[in-house]
Structure 1
Amino acid sequence: MGFFLSKGLNTSAGEQFTFCFIQNLEKPDRETTSMIASNDDRTNVTLVNTTDQYQIYREDGVHLIYHRPIATLQNTGKENKGLRVITEGSIPIVSFSRTAQHSGDMFTPFPDRQLGIDHVVLTYCDAVSHCILAVVGVIDGATDVTIVFPSTFKGVLLIDNKQYEAGDKLYFTLYQLETFQLLSAANFSGVIVRSSHKVGVFVGADRTRLGNWHGNDHLEEALPPLTLWGKQYVLVSKGDDVVQIVSSANETQVNITTCDRTVQYVINASIDVIELLMECAFFYVSASHPILVAHIMMSKTSFQNPSLYFPPPVMLYSKAYVVSPLPSLYSPCQVGLVAKLGDLEEIAAQFTDDNVSWVNVSSTGFAVITVILNSEKTVIVRSRNEPFGGHIYCHIRKYIAGSTRLVPYKDDIESSRVTRTSTTMSPHSLSINTSLTSVDNTSLNCSTTCCERHSPLVNLTAQELKAIVQEFKTKLTVTKTATSAWKRKFNSANDDRPSSKGIGLLAAVFLTCVFGSVVLIDVTNFIAKKTSKTKN
């Protein structure tokens, strides 16, 4: 398939989105891309792979259909199926919606200017599905990509007759709009993706479930690069949702407040994955270093069809969003909102005239609420005061058709804020570790023998906690005489500098002269006395 830009399109003030559709084993055989003109009265949109052009007017949407054999990635390996949309104006594209009846998912790609070179994967799959990781080349030239499989990766991949497993690295090169997809029955969470230039990264599962076996569903979402991670998140729960958290640095302290209870963790970079059930209406997360949070939503039915999205950190909240519902088949759509308490009621009133009730997020000053999106057209929601955040999710009958983050109405995310975030993360220093700390209001190092990496953590009894502490004491106790500190007490540090050698030599001469003179005097007196006795 060839990709090129239509002639005559002025993109100097526009946006460019590069994305792909990962493998989907659910039905039907098509993918849908939903776009909306959010900022300008009229916006031109070009699909690079087809050269089609569209004029989209404010608050009017267009739904473009890609047939699956042409647009969807299949199996493990490289393909030429990257897709690109180029627009005039500022972020007129709200979301690309992948809808396969109730077994689809929504995802929102980042504009190319927000893409990055360092990513850490979070995703979910079970025994009957494949976890999926896909990378798309962006620049007009070669991009070298490295995939680092952590020491806890439980899968084995066979690529070009070579086997890859835990601790291995996979290298490949992508050119513009080339894709490379990896499939594995093992979870990709903790896998590191590094590239020489910006790439688009997409994660998910071809079909998976949480809970009842009837709940097979497709997951897909754009993976935020490390430059878009943050230290503070507020999530709105739909009920029995799942949250995953991964860190960018070792010894990261993570505090999670939910149901008026705070749980503390200490996790290491990339490989320590926290996974918890959301039992309350909100989930407040703060950390000492930037973290990535994944929110896996589930339907309130025995089928529990899941949906995946990555909520933005508080530092990237906006004061205005474009909220675009899916086609009428997928309804009702609902919006989860996170805002300062004084702003929330006014924001919610832009969705509904009904009285609303919200839930305070402990002592953070934030509150959360879920409202129904009654409008079939695009809604532009604003806050007159503080920035706010949120997500949208839609149903088909009683099942979740998809969820994704809200997209800012205008680009008011200051580049300086993103730059400051990226300078504190040191992404190239990500290491692979296997220790995880997780005890209510306590910090203990938890070995892999007592913590399931991908299972919700449970409360421990006093006896169990005492046994774990004793185990830690046994493992951490060392012989005093075997420590390097003890051995260093008996060895002088070597210093080869000429100045140090000169000072040392001078000191030795000085001490030799002092003690030598004392000895010489004593020897002289001894000889004199002995000579005197001999004469007598």
Structure 2
Amino acid sequence: MACARLAVSVLALIALFTCSPAVRDNKGTEFILTFPENLNRDNLDPKLFFACPHHGGADVRVTLLSTGRNERVRVAYGQVEQLEVDRAAVELVGSQKGNQAIHILSDVEIVVYGVFADRDSSDAYLALPTDVLGTEYFVPCASINEQGPRKPAEIGVVGVHGGTTVTIVPSQAVTFDGQNYAAGQAFSVGLDRFETLQVQTTEDLTGSKITSNHPVAVLSGNMRAPCLPAGVPQIGSSDHVVEMIPPVDTWGKEFVTVPLTKRTCGDLFRIVAARNNTQVVVTKENTMTLNAGEFWEIDVPSDDYRHVTTSEPVLLVQYSKSSDADNALADPFMTAIPPVAQFEAEYTFSTVDLMSDQSEPTHHINLVTRSAGKAGLRLDGQPLPSDTVWHDVTGTDYAAAQLNISAGMHTVRHISPIVTVGLVSYGFAPRDSYGCPGGQRLARIAAPCSTTAPVPADRVDNDCDGRVDEELLNGMDEDGDGLIDEDLATISCAGNREQYRTCLVEQCRNLVP
């Protein structure tokens, strides 16, 4: 009888792993994207970069909705494929509605980047699949205080479903489709599937709120910006900056900041609040209270690592400054910093060859993990280089490192599925740069929560503690909350064919009373 129960348990576990729904992260089979406006210089076309974590590769179809053009791309495992897309068909222009959407479908989950490289004005964003998009956003942009013609901040929105009503509350006065709206004055726009809109103004739109009755894709940034501290004249070398924004229900309450390698002028960080009375605590700073839509900008030295905690979910964004700030072979970019609760245990990511000047490009990653887990990290299947320098984050058990990497596709993982890592990928060239997360979980950790039965690697906060997939199915309390096996990570039974059956049986013993 016990053997029969064990056999049933093994079959149940196999079904659990093979039939579980797609998890919430940056990998997906459908993406709906666009490109906010870049400064018009050399009229270079934007690009899509595709990376596939599946050994069988991926068949990808890309449709430009404004022209109806279809492209098919075969993405092999371990390779990065690029596709140039017609700028006129996909670039948002002005403050108005449009139809510059890009629809991407794949037969297996892939990683997608949007890359917009014009002469000395480039950035990239990590694309988010349609299954993790939301209905509430607050956006980051960069300061605007330029001498001479001012380049606008901008927000882009793409409809994912028909009959969508998008409501925008701008943080600054804007003109949209010929109508003027004051700062804080809400206005609504109807979007059907694949319709787009862009809102622009020559003031900083950080903190603007976007809500909708159906999920939408949201991007924000600046047509071009030097990314210097607010209140400082925004002069010097500048870049297009853009990021695809995660919805508020995926935001977090704990972060670690890591400086950018090669820079000596420090980095800017903005903390954007979604809820009133958000208490923000940052190492070496006074406590700040933010209301919804407000932000706190911090200028952190290039040798400093900070810990950020908040009472309510926030968005943290990092900015690389103008090259004129320290005469580095670099320039501005903007990247969201994933919260600790959304760190992954395994990443597949790619560098992007976006710079128009390819004479001296360099590529880098910033890593954050628990100090006790450093030895288990693997880059492209190998231990980290022996000369990797780790920096302890004051007042925490986290450590951070900066690594130089080669161009192309890479993997970072930890040998334990419950030891997670934060990863930001970026690159520099003379007066050019890009930066974006290497990936992240996108669990709804900031949404109302009800306890659910544990399902391994479901990216659901089964125990409602603000974390996901933090335990193994082994009868132990790995997260120290007094509960056993209550929010399960992947069980690594498939790594060794000879031990697969034994592994399954051992894990199933925990399911048998």
TM-score bin, normalised by smaller chain: 0.7 to 0.9
Contact 2:345 2:420 in 1 (8 A): yes
Paired position in structure 1 for 2:71? 52
Paired position in structure 2 for 1:391? 424
Paired position in structure 2 for 1:321? 347
In 1, distance between residues paired with 2:378 and 2:305? Answer: 17
Note the C-alpha offset of 1:293. Answer: 0.9
Note the C-alpha offset of 1:94. Answer: 3.9
In 1, distance between residues paired with 2:389 and 2:378? Answer: 10
Contact 2:174 2:201 in 1 (8 A): yes
In 2 relative to 1, CA 247–421 (structure 1 residues): closer, same or farther, beyond 3 Å? farther
Contact 1:228 1:421 in 2 (8 A): no
In 1, distance between residues paired with 2:199 and 2:462? Answer: 29
Residue aligned with 1:342, SS:
helix
Paired position in structure 2 for 1:369? 401
Is 2:15 the partner of 1:15?
Answer: no
Note the C-alpha offset of 1:310. Answer: 0.7
In 2 relative to 1, CA 413–406 (structure 1 residues): closer, same or farther, beyond 3 Å? farther
Note the C-alpha offset of 1:199. Answer: 0.2
Note the C-alpha offset of 1:86. Answer: 0.8
For 2:320, the aligned partner's letter is M
In 2, distance between residues paired with 1:41 and 1:377? Answer: 19
Is 2:69 the partner of 1:40?
Answer: no
Contact 1:227 1:419 in 2 (8 A): no
In 2 relative to 1, CA 357–125 (structure 1 residues): closer, same or farther, beyond 3 Å? same
Note the C-alpha offset of 1:82. Answer: 0.8
Paired position in structure 2 for 1:225? 247
Note the C-alpha offset of 1:17. Answer: 0.8
Q: What whole-Å deviation, never above 9, does each CA across 1:29-78 have from its counterpart, x for those lacking one?
A: 21111111122322110102332222211011111111222221111101
- Listed as ranges, the matches of 1:234-273 within 5 Å are 234-238=256-260, 239=263, 240-257=266-283, 261-270=284-293, 272-273=294-295
Paired position in structure 1 for 2:304? 281
Paired position in structure 2 for 1:182? 199
In 2 relative to 1, CA 230–408 (structure 1 residues): closer, same or farther, beyond 3 Å? closer
Q: What whole-Å deviation, never above 9, does each CA across 1:228-249 have from its counterpart, x for those lacking one?
A: 1000011211241111112222
In 2, distance between residues paired with 1:380 and 1:112? Answer: 23
In 1, distance between residues paired with 2:409 and 2:47? Answer: 17
In 2 relative to 1, CA 313–418 (structure 1 residues): closer, same or farther, beyond 3 Å? farther
Q: What whole-Å deviation, never above 9, does each CA across 1:458-504 have from its counterpart, x for those lacking one?
A: xxxxxxxxxxxxxxxxxxxxxxxxxxxxxxxxxxxxxxxxxxxxxxx
In 2, distance between residues paired with 1:178 and 1:419? Answer: 38
Contact 1:26 1:207 in 2 (8 A): no
Contact 1:97 1:108 in 2 (8 A): no
Paired position in structure 1 for 2:190? 173
Paired position in structure 2 for 1:302? 327
Is 2:139 the partner of 1:137?
Answer: no
Residue aligned with 1:263, SS:
coil
* Aligned-residue RMSD, C-alpha: 2.7
Contact 1:237 1:283 in 2 (8 A): no
Paired position in structure 2 for 1:293? 316
Note the C-alpha offset of 1:161. Answer: 4.0
Contact 1:338 1:344 in 2 (8 A): no
In 2 relative to 1, CA 418–253 (structure 1 residues): closer, same or farther, beyond 3 Å? farther
Note the C-alpha offset of 1:121. Answer: 1.5
In 1, distance between residues paired with 2:177 and 2:272? Answer: 31
Paired position in structure 1 for 2:391? 359
In 1, distance between residues paired with 2:192 and 2:157? Answer: 11
Is 2:345 the partner of 1:331?
Answer: no
Is 2:469 the partner of 1:416?
Answer: no
Note the C-alpha offset of 1:134. Answer: 0.9
Note the C-alpha offset of 1:108. Answer: 0.9
For 2:51, the aligned partner's letter is I
Paired position in structure 2 for 1:83? 102
Query: Unpaired segments of 5 or more residues in structure 2?
Result: 1-20, 23-27, 229-233, 444-455, 467-513
TM-score by length of 2: 0.73
In 2 relative to 1, CA 148–63 (structure 1 residues): closer, same or farther, beyond 3 Å? same
Paired position in structure 2 for 1:381? 412
Residue aligned with 1:195, SS:
strand
For 2:207, the aligned partner's letter is G
In 1, distance between residues paired with 2:465 and 2:42? Answer: 41
In 1, distance between residues paired with 2:383 and 2:36? Answer: 33
In 2, distance between residues paired with 1:421 and 1:248? Answer: 20
For 1:76, the aligned partner's letter is S
Paired position in structure 2 for 1:407? 439
Contact 1:26 1:217 in 2 (8 A): no
Is 2:237 the partner of 1:215?
Answer: yes
Q: What whole-Å deviation, never above 9, does each CA across 1:76-106 have from its counterpart, x for those lacking one?
A: 101110111111212x124222222442001
In 2, distance between residues paired with 1:27 and 1:315? Answer: 40
Residue aligned with 1:395, SS:
strand
Contact 2:38 2:223 in 1 (8 A): yes
Note the C-alpha offset of 1:400. Answer: 4.2
161-170 or 288-297, larger mean C-alpha shift: 161-170
In 2, distance between residues paired with 1:162 and 1:363? Answer: 50
In 2 relative to 1, CA 101–35 (structure 1 residues): closer, same or farther, beyond 3 Å? farther
Contact 2:97 2:177 in 1 (8 A): no
Contact 1:24 1:206 in 2 (8 A): yes
Q: What whole-Å deviation, never above 9, does each CA across 1:383-406 have from its counterpart, x for those lacking one?
A: 12311111010122x344200001
In 2 relative to 1, CA 410–158 (structure 1 residues): closer, same or farther, beyond 3 Å? closer
Note the C-alpha offset of 1:262. Answer: 4.5
For 1:288, the aligned partner's letter is S
Paired position in structure 2 for 1:5? none
**Higher helix proportion (structure 1 or 2):** 1
Residue aligned with 1:88, SS:
strand
Note the C-alpha offset of 1:157. Answer: 2.6
In 2 relative to 1, CA 162–419 (structure 1 residues): closer, same or farther, beyond 3 Å? farther
In 2, distance between residues paired with 1:103 and 1:40? Answer: 35
Q: What whole-Å deviation, never above 9, does each CA across 1:3-30 have from its counterpart, x for those lacking one?
A: xxxxxxxxx9861111110111153321
In 2 relative to 1, CA 234–85 (structure 1 residues): closer, same or farther, beyond 3 Å? same
In 2 relative to 1, CA 364–409 (structure 1 residues): closer, same or farther, beyond 3 Å? closer
